[in-house]
Structure 1
């Protein structure tokens, strides 16, 4: 019996040590050792992450950043679909190495995970039926769709307290609810809304009014105190800005000839 307890204790200790090693920031070494970087990405949110109809592969702005990081590491890239609600649990449970999924950096999340420097900057707006919304007052007491576990969910509740917030698994479902007349608006970051609208067959019926309720800096998410990996990713992002790769990726997905034309109003720099 004593031997059995000793065995249990040894197994438990190995588990604790493994968890501690993970928490202490061994991702950089582990990724190099296994030869694969596993990134959690969106798979239905153009142009950040979506399934290409021809290749059936997940492509997008977020994926291109991960490809560059993986190449810099000298490893292969594996992408796993995540939702706004599942991305942090997936990271903390060790199922993915990095989150690249339109994730806003905020103090609440930063208590649980670490973020890279800002690699995309946008602001929260709305998609509405054309001419239906001129000011935030037009949305008071109305139903507004967004995604579960997103900062958009919290921001709109603060901005329009009388609105009823309907939270969906992701933004395309929220947009479908708008098309069906179940909500008066869909809210999230302008860049995501532009991507949704750009792919909509009936996009002429909708618009993004010039009503911004927050600024949204996106960061790549990594495990807490994963210092070596965070430093490597940040160094790589600064390199991408310096050598023009970051701008090139932006133009590829948000340039004037794309379905989601936006101006690049930011540069990647060392931030908190």
Structure 2
């Protein structure tokens, strides 16, 4: 009887596994065209990459505009699904989304699990601190530092500051709230994200982003690893966006003059070697 129960349980587990595997199409490009919708995993609380606009109540941002451009090229609609740094890769591999456009740094570890587009945004990891408190990395030794779970920022800061206590939150706004409450002495992630958080803070004059950088962070659009046709299509599309000036236009819209961030575009989208 026990043996029969074990067999039944095994078949049930296999069935569940099979459904999860079946949820991820073998050819996303063909499947997206067939269903007429591109499902994208994006951030929904991280200006200006992905956040809910107060007036329209829709998710907007730099990452969203890239997804919309890809969908337009495909001739399909876009469905946006909010993801976190920790949930985005599982959502992709389980077939719940077709593409990740969520401030995702390309690195060798992740590249073993999923496929990446060419770099469509480049930044570096820095910190938000109370103004005047941090002049060098040494000033953060032994301190409590907030970041997001499942991010490369979490790994990088542990390597750069082994004596620090790293507290990981569900997202960066929560980490910044901890800084405001004095529970951490710094928040760390990519400079562009930090600039977005600080720009929206009502008490932003109390904080700053010191010129202390611990890594380079190239962002890629994430797709399933063996989905070669879709990856090639996305790469071709974003290279065309660079050539036409559309990619630069999107950057200026979200980061350029007239925005709260006023970052300079120091990169171009090129074919990765």
Q: In structure 2, how many angstroms separate the alpha carbons of the residues matched to 1:159 and 1:18?
A: 38
Q: Which residue of 2 aligns with 1:245?
A: 246
| RMSD between superposed Cα atoms in Å | 1.9
Residue 29 of structure 1: CA displacement? 0.3
Partner SS for 2:115: strand
Residue 18 and residue 95 in structure 1: after superposition, are their counterparts in 2 closer, same or farther (change >3 A)?
closer
User: What is the aligned length?
Assistant: 262
* TM-score normalised according to structure 1 size: 0.93
Partner of 1:100: 101
Give 3-state SS (helix, strand or coil) of 2:39's partner: strand
C-alpha distance in 2, partners of 1:17/1:45?
A: 32
Deviation at 1:214, TM superposition (A): 0.1
Residues 239, 139 of structure 1: alpha-carbon distance in 2 compared, 3 angstrom cutoff: same
Q: Show CA shifts across 1:25-48 (max 9, x none).
A: 400000000000000000000000
* 1:75-154 equivalence runs, <5 A: 75-154=76-155
Q: Kindly report which structure 2 residues correspond to 1:1-272, keeping only aligned pairs within 5 A, or say none.
A: 19=21, 22=24, 25-272=26-273
CA distance in 1, matches of 2:47, 2:262: 12
Using the TM superposition, give the Cα deviation of residue 18 of structure 1 relative to its aligned residue in structure 2, in angstroms.
9.2
SS of equivalent to 1:238: helix
**Change over 3 Å in CA distance of 1:72–1:182 after alignment to 2:** same
For 1:167, what is the secondary structure of its paired residue? strand
Q: Residues of 2 paired with 1:196 and 1:241: CA distance?
A: 27
Show structure 1 runs of 4+ deviating over 4 A.
15-18, 20-23
Q: Any stretches of 5+ residues in structure 1 without a counterpart?
A: 1-8
1:250 deviates by 0.0
Aligned-residue offset at 1:19: 3.9
